């Protein structure tokens, strides 16, 4: 005859709502449910952090499972084990009694086992005349059967998170390798770009990475490195594309030389501007042959370093700072708000800002910057204008100036022979 099944612990131990929930789940599990106990234990071990279990608590659970004679735990079988503290301590590698009791409480609080305490707190089993167990007092393993699917899902979630963490670390390693090697090849080949600034930015980003970084921090660092990687890659690809643009880069130099009108104002569309805004069929074909990708910020800053003087702190690090500096340069060049607004509408804010930066760089050679910007805007509207030749021409002029000065004074602009050939005027 079976007596009342206890739901509360012996002595001063309190019963918690979580324990009541575990008991309810165990009571309502299907009678035909069955699990392999060591498979369940493996899932619990993998998901121990999510469950709140400790390593020593799992050592005790392993010992408790060893006291159950069957490998398979079933919903209609006897799932209570009743080892003494001495036997349980021996199978838990000699764990002290105080530590044993503390981690047994952890298993109960995690809902992995249920206490089935006798009236006097002793653990034992009462058997019938046929040797079958009528009543057992000890630790009930039924939560392992009732929550087996939950433990499996938690273990799979942990494995998925570990895989995602491993992928994030691999991504970080690959991006770091790419950045370092691309910067090295850029310096070795003399590609015009602010490589020193890029190296500083790279070190600043890596400084945010602690020795043992969680996945969220690694992902955040990867996002910043991805932007730097994109800038470096675009710079190198733009350099290789520029080698195929012989003759295109000289257009801006000729265009500026003809942009010194003395009699027309910014608001006038006289014959001089119309002549400037015109172009041959060959020039239109050249524009269509130019690279379709945007100019990298590093190349623009190398070609137009004067705009950085107007930026906050005297340095430009992002396109938004570049646009802000262009806004400051506009009134200094005498360009009206209407001409600037029209240029942005036709070219787009970024391309208009690059155009203005190039005009600012050659402002000593342009008498009417506003009229000149309007003529370029009109050419852009007709699909006959690109900022690529402007920037390449400015870079070529800087190289020529350095060569004439005997490479003396200031920061040396190092370029490879390939870029020198691509920037050289046709027929020179």
Residue 276 clears pLDDT 50, i.e. is over it: no
pLDDT band at 24 (very low <50, low <70, confident <90, very high): low
| CA–CA gap between residue 70 and residue 40 (Å, rounded) | 14
Tell me the sheet residues that pair with 102: none
| DSSP class per residue in 177-237 | HHHHHHHHHHHHTT--S-HHHHHHHHHHHHTT--SS--HHHHHHHHHHHHHHHHHHHHHHH
Residue 167 tokens read as 């992928």
pLDDT in tens, 35-45: 899 999 999 99
Residue 118 tokens read as 């006798």
- What integer pLDDT is reported at residue 28 of this predicted model? 66
Mean pLDDT, range 403-411, rounded to an integer: 55
pLDDT band at 29 (very low <50, low <70, confident <90, very high): confident
Residue 188 tokens read as 């070795």
- What integer pLDDT is reported at residue 123 of this predicted model? 76
Question: What proportion of the chain, given as a percentage, has pLDDT over 90?
Answer: 26
Mean pLDDT, range 376-405, rounded to an integer: 84
CB atoms within 10 A of CB 57: 25
| CA–CA gap between residue 2 and residue 204 (Å, rounded) | 71
Task: Name the CA dihedral angle for 387, 342, 379, 333, rounded to a multiple of 10 degrees.
Answer: -60
pLDDT in tens, 161-187: 999 999 999 999 999 999 999 998 888
Distances (CA, A) of 174 to 168, 183, 197, 206, 232: 10, 14, 21, 14, 15
pLDDT in tens, 66-120: 998 888 888 777 888 888 888 888 888 888 888 998 998 899 888 888 888 776 6
Residue 153 clears pLDDT 90, i.e. is over it: yes
pLDDT in tens, 205-244: 999 888 888 899 999 999 999 999 999 998 888 888 775 5
- What integer pLDDT is reported at residue 25 of this predicted model? 66
| CA–CA gap between residue 223 and residue 234 (Å, rounded) | 17
| CA–CA gap between residue 55 and residue 143 (Å, rounded) | 19
Of the candidates 161, 287, 182, 169, the residue with the CA atom closest to the CA atom of residue 228: 182
Mean pLDDT, range 299-304, rounded to an integer: 89
- What integer pLDDT is reported at residue 299 of this predicted model? 87
Of the candidates 274, 289, 291, 280, the residue with the CA atom closest to the CA atom of residue 235: 291
Residue with the larger pLDDT of the pair 181 and 284: 181
CB 202 within 8 A of CB 224: no
Residue 277 clears pLDDT 60, i.e. is over it: no
| CA–CA gap between residue 174 and residue 168 (Å, rounded) | 10
Mean pLDDT, range 394-400, rounded to an integer: 82
CB 328 within 8 A of CB 310: yes
CA angle 367, 347, 281 (to 5 degrees): 80
pLDDT in tens, 328-383: 999 888 898 889 999 999 999 999 999 999 999 888 888 888 889 998 999 999 88
Residue 133 clears pLDDT 80, i.e. is over it: no
pLDDT band at 280 (very low <50, low <70, confident <90, very high): very low
- What integer pLDDT is reported at residue 116 of this predicted model? 81
């Amino acid at each position: 005859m079976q007596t009342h099944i206890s739901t509360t612990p012996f002595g001063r131990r309190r019963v918690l709502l979580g324990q009541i929930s575990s008991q309810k789940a165990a009571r309502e599990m299907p009678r035909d449910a069955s699990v392999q106990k060591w498979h369940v234990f493996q899932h619990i071990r993998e998901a121990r952090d999510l469950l709140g279990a400790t390593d020593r608590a799992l050592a005790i659970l392993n010992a408790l499972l060893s006291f159950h004679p069957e490998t398979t735990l079933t919903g209609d079988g006897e799932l209570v084990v009743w080892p003494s503290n001495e036997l349980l301590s021996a199978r838990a590698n000699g764990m002290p009694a105080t530590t044993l009791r503390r981690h047994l409480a952890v298993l109960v609080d995690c809902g992995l086992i249920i206490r089935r305490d006798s009236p006097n707190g002793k653990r034992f089993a009462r058997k019938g005349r046929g040797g079958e167990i009528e009543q057992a007092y000890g630790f009930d393993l039924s939560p392992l059967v009732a929550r087996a699917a939950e433990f499996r899902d938690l273990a799979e979630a942990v494995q998925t998170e570990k895989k995602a963490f491993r992928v994030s670390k691999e991504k970080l390693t690959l991006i770091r390798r790419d950045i370092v090697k691309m910067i090295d090849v850029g310096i070795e080949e003399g590609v015009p770009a602010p490589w020193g600034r890029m190296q500083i930015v790279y070190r600043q980003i890596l400084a945010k990475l602690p020795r043992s970084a969680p996945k969220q921090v690694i992902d955040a660092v990867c996002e910043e490195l991805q932007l730097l990687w994109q800038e470096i890659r675009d710079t190198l690809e733009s350099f290789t594309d520029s080698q195929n643009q012989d003759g295109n880069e000289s257009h801006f130099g000729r265009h500026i030389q003809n942009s010194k009108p003395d009699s027309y104002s910014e608001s006038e569309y006289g014959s001089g501007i119309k002549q400037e805004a015109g172009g041959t069929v060959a020039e239109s074909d050249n524009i269509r042959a130019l690279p379709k990708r945007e100019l990298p910020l590093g190349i623009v800053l190398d070609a137009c370093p004067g705009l950085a003087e107007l930026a906050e702190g005297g340095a430009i690090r992002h396109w938004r700072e570049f646009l802000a500096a262009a806004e400051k340069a506009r009134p200094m060049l005498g360009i009206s708000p209407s001409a600037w607004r029209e240029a942005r509408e036709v070219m787009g804010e970024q391309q208009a800002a690059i155009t203005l930066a190039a005009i600012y760089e050659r402002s000593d050679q342009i008498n009417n910057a506003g009229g000149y910007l309007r003529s370029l805007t009109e050419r852009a509207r007709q699909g006959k204008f690109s900022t690529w030749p402007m920037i390449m021409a400015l870079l070529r002029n800087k190289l020529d100036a350095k060569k004439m000065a005997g490479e003396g004074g200031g920061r040396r602009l190092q370029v490879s022979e390939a870029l020198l050939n691509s920037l050289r005027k046709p027929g020179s």
